[in-house]
Amino acid sequence: MLLQDRVVVVSGVGPGLGRAIAVQAAKAGADVVLASRTESRLTEVAKEIAEVGRRAVVVPTDINDEAAVTNLVETATSAFGRVDTLVNNAFAIPPLADLAVVDLDQVRAGFETNVLAALRLTRLFVPALTETKGSVVMINSAVLRHSRRTFGPYKMAKSSLLALAQSLATELGPKGIRVNSVAPGYIWADNLKWYFNYLAQQRGITPEEVYAETASTIDLRKLPEPDEIADAVVFFASPLARAITGACLDVNCGEYHH
């Protein structure tokens, strides 16, 4: 029970990693504030959290809307009287195109959601996190570790998010607030399963063969699952990481070393 009676706010709660972070935090003893645009998903996750004996508050939120984000902060603090950890998990995949030809307005829109929205949300939670000597966890990506074609806009946004986390760690450290990042590699959840099924159909092989080919290049010969990545978030939110800030922890089963 690493997070016993703490309060964790998770943005971008969907069926994959966001849900796993919220549920694993609850299993570690936390009450959870759930935020995303789709209320039906939030309600489903809230039921799971209730089943493990913890409380959940559902707050439909568009993190690009300042009024909605302000409401999220006010609802979280009034519901539980405290906030111990903010997990910035919400994101939008920028256009997958070479930097030489990509539409700059689309790149700009990606920065709005992936970087500036995380900054806005974090700033609004600073007063509450100062009271609890709390923490912030930014969900980043293994795109930090490679420069493959068409991933340039995505890498730009996530690299900026890492710089944001590191700078906030320095700025907020004197208040007792820690800021860290988790960078997942593949996430073996619904979206990736669908993609592997698609690749299998295109090549006339099974999805299991696509998985095996992909895993064969990774040290642990497996792809990370949402709960495994969520456990790294729980670690950063817990007292076990009380002397860690400005760090980025790769959770990729050894796909990349950093």
Active site residues: 154
The whole-angstrom separation of Cα 79 and Cα 43 is: 16
The whole-angstrom separation of Cα 38 and Cα 193 is: 22
Instruction: Look at residues 126, 116, 125 and name the one whose alpha carbon lies nearest to residue 164.
Output: 116
Phi then psi for residue 76, to 5 deg, are -60, -45
At a CB cut-off of 8 Å and minimum separation 6, what does 258 contact? Answer: 144, 145, 248, 250
Phi then psi for residue 9, to 5 deg, are -105, 130
Contact call for residues 33 and 9 (beta carbons, < 8 A) = yes
Torsion of CA 183, 185, 187, 188, to 10 degrees: -150
The whole-angstrom separation of Cα 179 and Cα 86 is: 9
Q: Computed from CA positions of residues 142, 187, 46, 233, in that sequence, does the dihedral angle turn out positive or negative?
A: negative
Contact call for residues 87 and 8 (beta carbons, < 8 A) = yes
